[in-house]
Structure 1
């Protein structure tokens, strides 16, 4: 039967496409102004070139962190292979991969929706993500943060897709290969950061617990994935470097303090996200869209057939769990890159919980009245005004567009290219680098030290290029 876009007018579709493009276009453009960061990128590359990728891994595993997979990514970065210009493409590829992996997840969860509706849903979620993105530079542009948080987030979307798809596979060899692939994804996600470790353990443990308690059955596929997750967790936490890292703060390792602080911080973040984004009104407009799934007998419906209260409690527990490692591990509030991940799962959980509620209440007598309210032109109009106000006040969009349209990104690119010419000159042993005339926050997080040529970042960049030392020409940058 031919499907049409469920209850969405052409005008709404056009608005959704516009919002998606509003968030996507500047990120793709800024990608081509991107350069490796003086913070960590050259240190990882220099270590790998001097000692080898495996030994570089071991240095970090023994001396700082057990994040074995993200460490592998940064120690095998394009800099190690001499491909400097790859950093101009990495952000764009990550943005596309983020969107594509989310689309694959939405398609598995909501297969009854027309493809256009799924694209609109993914586009709006991406727009919401960028609208109040805590740190664009740490989400797509700085490789050290990307390896620990964005890449495993993309893997997380795809892992959920693979888990859902596994149950519909009938061909046994393919099912076995899919199991192996899912185990690898678990291994990679857990080995990227403690934040990702928490969500894997909570989600797999929650799915298994739900099946045992409510369905009275044991799912050996999920058992296998949980065993892999526990092994990966052991591999991460047994690293000697973790003890060194946790030893620097008196609050690290304090369970009660960490739990209270994590949920307190989460409460403030949720209030901010609800105020600064139109999730409330878009959630209402989401109701008629997922009604098709709620009324169908499609097998995908079972993924939403849990009690809404249970879904809310698990969602909030998961969000608090994502923040918990920051307080428990190093005793401080979560970094913006951690909140990038937490905000991602806030958005996914928000629309998942609404879908659970729709499935749970679809056959109630009063549901049609709520649905008519959701379809009201007044709701659509209020949502449009709210979105416009949120776009106008969005710090992240202002930052991204400001870096592009003001010329800061172009000036930064010119200055970094000039530095490259100096650093690549084999006749220069002491490299005097020009001070950056612009430091666009979307692309730039820090620079080599202007006062201490022996600072770690200076030494790493000098070592990577085979220079005795790198020095900034001036302590004062010129404004663009």
Structure 2
């Protein structure tokens, strides 16, 4: 198969199809989205009752020091009285993730020195493939893009960290000027926001900065002042998280209450069992071989390839793999350390780090393969890749759930029933309001519902938001469709 055929037809069609296969259903699910009984109403009720800024202080002192994620969840459309605004949130999160990935990949490819037309095409291909791989075995789609309370702590900082990486690379290549100064300030602001979303990304960004600083110190015998500034911002921001009275309250509620050794052992065991599955359950391995060949072709076209690549990707293979494993450990350890339990939303972050870290490690090896002079993928590799993609897609549990919720009509039924419930909650003036249970629980959309116990936290938050004394789920009531 000729290289031109691969670039003109196979790559565009395949990557576009894979991207749309996961992106479009998320946009459809976004239309059916509703606030979750878990936390969404609690944050909104607190903000409406006490005011936006007072709610920040209340949670900073009383439950968690995550200052920026608290800022987000206390400003959701519920706080404005715009219930339908939640239908836009999953779409915006998915679009933000994709745009951040596209921006970072652009800076990476620019460092490879590839020509502008080739760079743009490769950006699109890699972005589409990365998002497809991310959704393919994502542990919990709802916690990544649907549930706002979770997305604010995990998905938002993941996207911000990708964008921060692009800004940081841009800053380091700009000549001294006002624009360069402003870019550095913006990079520092992004670090402050990322750390303020939660402990997972706080430890992740600090670990990454330390790894880069140590490597450049050993290699160049000098300290990178720009990275040192970013690390300082991250440490100060982390101090704001840990010094929060609410953080101590939250830690005391964990089962482990700070078990350092036990948390490390559990984290290492989990990674040892999970990483091989990720390589086998996704087409990462054949796609890696394709990137080595095609990416090496990009590098081979530059006479100054080694010099260009060394500025960003000139990292020894052993060090890149070591740092990748350390970053994966940094995303897993906080959960095991605090609660001896690793949530799906934390694994969502770990999986994203795995994909990006593996791509970086592969890219560091491009100059080595470029010297062999062969960059045309053999036909058997293309066939194997397509077969692996097909099998992985068919076996993908997130994909099956995503399409089943839409095609069976569960997502639409879920939307009708919650819309009817919201109309009843908004219009009824009874002190005690009995509500019908949901008849469907679409996995891609549903997180939690209020309970039959009127004293449950979810019941109290939703009752407070709508101004009722008591709301309760009554199993004897049949769900009714919403009025048009």
**TM-score, with structure 1 as normaliser:** 0.93
Distance 1:61 1:271, change over 3 A: same
Classify the secondary structure of the residue corresponding to 2:433: strand
Aligned equivalent of 1:362: 370
Classify the secondary structure of the residue corresponding to 1:66: coil
Classify the secondary structure of the residue corresponding to 2:353: helix
Name the CA distance, whole Å, in 1 between partners of 2:478 and 2:263.
40
**1:249 deviation in Å?**
4.2
Distance 1:5 1:469, change over 3 A: farther
1:197-228 deviations in whole A, cap 9, x for unaligned? 11110111111111111111222111111110
Classify the secondary structure of the residue corresponding to 2:97: helix
The one of 191, 209, 213 equivalent to 1:204 is 209
Aligned equivalent of 1:455: 456
Tell me if the contact between 1:19 and 1:127 (Cα under 8 Å) persists in the aligned partners: yes
1:423-457 deviations in whole A, cap 9, x for unaligned? 1115444322221111111111110012x112111
Name the CA distance, whole Å, in 2 between partners of 1:252 and 1:360.
47
Name the CA distance, whole Å, in 1 between partners of 2:84 and 2:447.
19
Of 167-176 and 296-305, more deviation after overlay is shown by: 296-305
Aligned equivalent of 1:228: 233
1:352 aligns with 2:360: yes
1:149-204 deviations in whole A, cap 9, x for unaligned? 00001100000000000022225111111111111110111111111011110111
The one of 266, 270, 282 equivalent to 1:265 is 270
**1:292 deviation in Å?**
4.1
1:400 aligns with 2:402: yes
Name the CA distance, whole Å, in 2 between partners of 1:198 and 1:160.
16
Name the CA distance, whole Å, in 2 between partners of 1:472 and 1:306.
58
Tell me if the contact between 1:61 and 1:67 (Cα under 8 Å) persists in the aligned partners: yes
Structural RMSD (CA) = 2.0
**1:275 deviation in Å?**
1.4
**1:55 deviation in Å?**
2.1
**1:250 deviation in Å?**
5.3
List aligned pairs for 1:426-465, cutoff 5 A.
427-450=429-452, 452-465=453-466
Distance 1:273 1:294, change over 3 A: same
Classify the secondary structure of the residue corresponding to 1:424: helix
Of 406-415 and 162-171, more deviation after overlay is shown by: 162-171
Tell me if the contact between 1:33 and 1:88 (Cα under 8 Å) persists in the aligned partners: yes
Aligned equivalent of 1:327: 336
1:36 aligns with 2:28: no
Runs of 5+ unmatched residues, structure 1: none
Distance 1:114 1:323, change over 3 A: same
Tell me if the contact between 1:109 and 1:300 (Cα under 8 Å) persists in the aligned partners: no
**1:8 deviation in Å?**
2.8
Classify the secondary structure of the residue corresponding to 2:439: coil
Tell me if the contact between 2:293 and 2:369 (Cα under 8 Å) persists in the aligned partners: no
Name the CA distance, whole Å, in 2 between partners of 1:5 and 1:67.
50
Name the CA distance, whole Å, in 2 between partners of 1:467 and 1:156.
41
Aligned equivalent of 1:163: 168
The one of 413, 416, 434 equivalent to 2:415 is 413
1:333-358 deviations in whole A, cap 9, x for unaligned? 31000000100010111111111112
**1:248 deviation in Å?**
3.5
Distance 1:282 1:56, change over 3 A: same
Name the CA distance, whole Å, in 1 between partners of 2:368 and 2:82.
53
**1:318 deviation in Å?**
0.7
Of 147-156 and 260-269, more deviation after overlay is shown by: 260-269
Of 32-41 and 435-444, more deviation after overlay is shown by: 435-444
Name the CA distance, whole Å, in 2 between partners of 1:128 and 1:280.
12
1:377 aligns with 2:376: no
**TM-score, with structure 2 as normaliser:** 0.93
Name the CA distance, whole Å, in 2 between partners of 1:98 and 1:212.
32
Of 5-14 and 101-110, more deviation after overlay is shown by: 5-14
**1:272 deviation in Å?**
1.6
Aligned equivalent of 1:27: 26
Runs of 5+ unmatched residues, structure 2: none
List aligned pairs for 1:169-318, cutoff 5 A.
169-170=174-175, 172-249=177-254, 251-295=256-300, 296=302, 297=304, 301=309, 302-318=311-327
**1:476 deviation in Å?**
8.5
Tell me if the contact between 2:436 and 2:477 (Cα under 8 Å) persists in the aligned partners: no
Name the CA distance, whole Å, in 2 between partners of 1:269 and 1:58.
39
1:336 aligns with 2:336: no
Aligned length: 469
Tell me if the contact between 2:313 and 2:363 (Cα under 8 Å) persists in the aligned partners: yes
Tell me if the contact between 2:191 and 2:234 (Cα under 8 Å) persists in the aligned partners: yes
**1:52 deviation in Å?**
1.5
